[in-house]
Amino acid sequence: MNTNTPGGPSGLDAGAPEFEYVKWSPKFELGIPVIDAQHKTLVNLCNSFYQTLIQRKSDWKMPWEESLAGTLRKCVEYAMTHLKDEEKLMSACGYPGYAQHKQAHALFIKEILSTTEGFKDATIGTAFKFVKFLYDWILSHIAHDDKLYVPYVLDYYRKQHEGR
């Protein structure tokens, strides 16, 4: 498996069938098992989308849009479910940055829904840009923004456990 990602997406190896566009890293872990598991799934879906795109780019027998539609749909559906779960958790623990974080989620959802709706008219270049957008989101949002609510969630869990 090629997991060598020097400089992120610029170190592409299109011939590697299991190339990880986004390599899971401990820096993504929040210490909240359910959220960490969901984040890993989002990374895997991003990688799956990228792998399918690379395979389709080299095999033009099937229209690339058709081969990617299912993977894109899974990615969008799972992302929306995850964001709702994350927002419920932030709300429950009283995270003071909840409104701002929820707004960031809304902008992300708007972008992925826009991509989904316009996918029939997309070019392969647009599809690669979308994968880059997912990559950037994972690096900035999961690795930084999500870490801001962690102390509040862990404190909430601790209080819930002590109250038993």
DSSP per-residue codes, 73-95: HHHHHHHHHHHHHHHHHHHHTT-
Q: How far is CA 100 from the centre of its chain?
A: 19
CA distance 94 to 83: 16
Is residue 8's pLDDT more than 50?
Answer: no
Rounded-to-integer distance, Cα 24 and Cα 36, Å: 11
pLDDT exceeding 70 applies to what percent of the chain? 81
Mean residue pLDDT of the chain comes to 81
pTM of structure:
0.79
Q: Provide the greatest CA pair distance for the chain.
A: 61
Q: Give the CA distances from residue 25 to residues 20, 36, 39, 94, 108, in Å, rounded to whole numbers and listed in that order.
A: 12, 11, 11, 28, 22
* Per-residue model confidence as pLDDT tens digits over 77-96: 888 999 999 999 999 999 99
Distance between CA atoms of 41 and 61, rounded to whole angstroms?
Answer: 29
Distances 128 to 51, 106, 141, 153 between C-alpha atoms, Å: 11, 22, 20, 35
pLDDT digits (tens, 9 = 90+) for 103-150: 999 999 998 888 888 777 777 788 888 888 888 888 889 989 999 999
CA 57-54-67 angle, to 5 degrees, is 70
